[in-house]
Amino acid sequence: MSAPVAELRGVSLALGATPVLEDVSLRIEANDYLAILGPNGGGKTTLLKLLLGLYTPDRGQVQVLGDSPRRARGRVGYVPQHVRFDLEFPIRVQDVVLMGRLGRGGGARIRAGDRDAAHAALERVEMRELAARPIGALSGGQLQRVLIARALSQQPELLLLDEPTASLDERIGRSVWELFEELSQEMAVVVVSHDIGAISRYVHGVACLNRRLHAHPSRELTSDILEATYGCPVDLLAHGHPHRVLTEHGEP
Amino acid sequence: MLEALTLPFFQRVLLAGLLASLACGVIGTYVVAKRIASLSGGLSHAAFGGVGLGYLAGFPPMLGAAGFGLLAALVVGIAQRRLGSGIDTLVSMVWSVGMALGIVFVALAPGYAPDLMSYLFGSLLFVPWDYVIAIGVLDLLILVAVLLFHRVFEAVCFDDEFAEVAGLPAERVFLGLLALTALAIVTLIRVVGVILAIALLTIPAATARPWVESLRAMMLLSVALCAVSTVGGLLLAYGLSQGIGLSAPPGPLIILLAALFYALSAAARAILQRRRLAFGPAAP
């Protein structure tokens, strides 16, 4: 078996006095398309930040692209939750996407290859014609795509997306799920979400995270696993896709 | 009022004001875009401690202001990441401790007590040539740094977390930006004083922000607004003293003018928005 793109081994991390992750192990292979599900506060964003080297584990090991997460920076694409952005910030779409090129040495100068990579990335998320728009004029879904393009302009080997389902109400062209599937032919893709609807038929594997990680080789979820993750009984109603989930009634 | 422009002393004052506007509009843009106004207020008040130390130890107060401002920038900048929301409390401590130190130092200084008001609210009318030159040098330093590193500053202001994971030394870049902010504040101390510096740093930039689509454009518009407020405030002060014998200090007048432009701009935005709602979206 070839070396994994990223690996967590027995990772535990507490933020302040709160244990967020406990004994989490996970292997991400090349061309994986993995969904990590879990309730809010279950440690999903923390897991991504460990892979990005923004946090160091209290126990256990994290390896990314055969190196420490910090040294792998620039080769890992990151799409944060778009809701935390300041839409009054005066900046155009193309300049946001160009930020993905900043880590490649050369410092503050823009080189020819940078613009090409940025345009290609915008093309990929079908946002090229909005390149000169200020971000304040975008819808939530469009901003999401810009952030995906910014990560793609890094030409990453691993792509990490935090809650990309937040604003995918609009249907511009094909769905981003197909885009992620297509991207996973070039890089490993990890999507984190609290929304079980995030698992599409395209996902190769699902892991459920609520402080502890419950991994599945396939995308089939069982109610046992969901119950272990969400801490309450969960009914799965599979009407093709996306899956719908209803929590058991009767409990506050 | 305009005959003032021909007076040599007034030309020197104007030059000082215009040079300070340059630093103010450029750095104010970052301060407003990154929303670090209160943090910058802390730096400006901390600088007053250095003014006091200058009097006590017998070196130029402006040198002390720069030293204290840079030190405060370092402390607050390093603490920023580690404290999270607790930074708020630290900033107010830096803010008030700087002021307290300044007052104590001046009280301990031998000889006559200097006019503190001029450092608190500015005293542009008596600006000496060497201070004008100092503002020019600081301008040059700030502009060169911005020309070289604008993209990095912009990235860290927009999304410091992404800047870091993309491989930039985000924390050092932020410290650099705070250091430039401290220097820009020093250029403003003679113009509007440590108390009003934060207003001139933020009001023109905040006025500019809704009208522009890039930080570069915001800088140009902020510099222009800064310059117009400064020149306007100076002329107004001169006119008041010549016309009706009122000696109003220019610093506060400059701030009031800047605030007036902000109010006018906000009203214009509101009217435009209402029109857009009434007549539907404008053709692209």
- pLDDT tens, residue by residue, A22-66: 999 999 998 888 888 888 888 889 999 999 999 999 999 999 999
Supply the pLDDT for residue A149: 95
SS3 content of chain B, % helix, strand, coil (to 5): 85, 0, 15
Q: Which of residues 195-224 of B touch A (CB under 8 A)?
A: 209-210, 212-215, 217-218
Interface residue B120 vs chain A (CB under 8 A): no
Who contacts A10 (Cβ-Cβ below 8 Å, separation ≥6)? A23, A24, A25, A59, A60, A61
Closest by CA to A100, choosing from B167, B150, B148, is B167
Q: Which residues of A touch B215 (CB under 8 A)?
A: 90-91
Q: Mean pLDDT for chain B? A: 91
Is the entire prediction scored with pTM above 0.90? no
Interface with A, mutate which of B29, B32, B162 (most A CBs under 10 A)? B162
Tell me the pLDDT tens digit for each residue of A62-78: 999 999 999 998 899 99
Which percentage of chain B shows pLDDT scores above 70? Answer: 97
Q: Is the confidence metric ipTM above 0.90 for this complex?
A: no
Closest by CA to B18, choosing from B225, B231, B270, is B231
- Residue ranges in chain A modelled with pLDDT below 50: 173, 232-252
Question: What is the torsion angle, in degrees rounded to the nearest 10, for the CA atoms of residue B21, residue B117, residue B6 and residue B237?
Answer: 90
Interface residue B162 vs chain A (CB under 8 A): yes
Q: What is the DSSP string of chain A?
A: -PPPSEEEEEEEEEETTEEEEEEEEEEE-TT-EEEEE--TTSSHHHHHHHHTTSS--SEEEEEETTB-TTTTTTSEEEE--GGGS-TTS--BHHHHHHGGGTTSSSTT---HHHHHHHHHHHHHTT-GGGTTSBGGGS-HHHHHHHHHHHHHTT--SEEEEESTTTT--S--SS-HHHHHHHHTTTSEEEEEES-GGG--TT-SEEEEEESEEEEESSS---HHHHHHHHSS-EEEE-SSSS-EEEEPTT--
Supply the pLDDT for residue B42: 95
How many Å lie between the alpha carbon of A231 and the closest alpha carbon of chain B? 30
Rounded to whole angstroms, the Cα distance separating B73 from B43 reads 6
Supply the pLDDT for residue B270: 94
First to last CA, chain A: 47
Residues of A near B (Cβ–Cβ under 8 Å) read 52-54, 73-74, 76, 78, 80, 85-86, 88-92, 95-96, 98-100, 102-104, 107-110, 134, 150, 154
